[in-house]
Amino acid sequence: MIEQRIEELRAELAKGEQRLAALDRERAVTRDTILRIQGALQVLEELCAAPAAIDARPVLARSS
């Protein structure tokens, strides 16, 4: 009876450890995806801001 419970708990522990490892992998993938999205967003925001910065230059500077 006790031996059976020990085996059940070991199996439950193994399943929990496997699930935790899977969640860690998923978290890492999600973190990497978020970092890529943030980088792309930053580039696009800078590109959108660039024409405004060009238009704000003095007229003499634009003629060159």
Torsions phi, psi of 58, nearest 5? -60, 155
* Residue 14, token pair as written in the block: 């193994």
pLDDT at 54: 67
The answer to whether residue 64 scores a pLDDT higher than 60 is no
List the domain boundaries for the chain: 2-62
Top-confidence residue, 3 or 52: 3
DSSP 64: -
Give the length of the chain.
Answer: 64
pLDDT of 6-59, one tens digit each?
A: 999 999 999 999 999 999 999 999 999 999 999 999 999 999 998 766 666 666
57: phi then psi, degrees, rounded to nearest 5: -70, 155
Q: What is the pLDDT of residue 51?
A: 73
- What is the C-alpha separation between 64 and 58, in angstroms, rounded? 11
